[in-house]
Amino acid sequence: MRIDLSPTSWGRVVVVTAAGTAFFIAAAFFVDSFNFPSLSPQALLWAKLTDLFLPLVLGGSFLFFLMWKMRQLAIAQKELSIVAATDSLTAVFNRGAFSMLVEAYLEQARSHDVADTGALLIVDADHFKSINDRLGHDCGDQALKLIASTIQGQLRGADIVGRIGGEEFAVFLPGADATRSFLVAESIRLRIREAEFAPGGQPWPLSVSIGGIAFRGPTTYHDMFQVADKHLYKAKSNGRDQVSFESPRGLPSADIAGTVH
Give per-residue pLDDT as tens, 178-237.
Answer: 999 999 999 999 999 999 999 888 899 999 999 999 999 899 999 999 999 999 999 999
Whether residue 240 sits in one domain with residue 113 = yes
Whether residue 234 sits in one domain with residue 113 = yes
31 exposed, middle or buried (CB, 10 Å; 0-12, 13-18, 19+)?
Answer: exposed
Whether residue 229 sits in one domain with residue 146 = yes
Q: How much is the mean pLDDT over the chain?
A: 89
Instruction: Please state the domain count of the chain.
Output: 2
Whether residue 115 sits in one domain with residue 78 = no
Nearest CA to 25 out of 50, 58, 55, 48 is that of: 55
Whether residue 238 sits in one domain with residue 109 = yes
Of the three residues 26, 60, 82, the one that is the final residue of a domain is 82
Give per-residue pLDDT as tens, 45-85.
Answer: 998 999 899 989 999 999 999 999 998 888 887 777 777 78
DSSP state of 179: H
State the Cα–Cα distance between residues 88 and 97, nearest whole angstrom.
13
Give per-residue pLDDT as tens, 97-153.
Answer: 999 999 999 999 888 888 889 999 999 999 999 999 999 999 999 999 999 999 999
Residues with active-site annotation = 167
3-class state of residue 108 by DSSP: helix
Whether residue 162 sits in one domain with residue 125 = yes
Structural domain of 68: 8-82
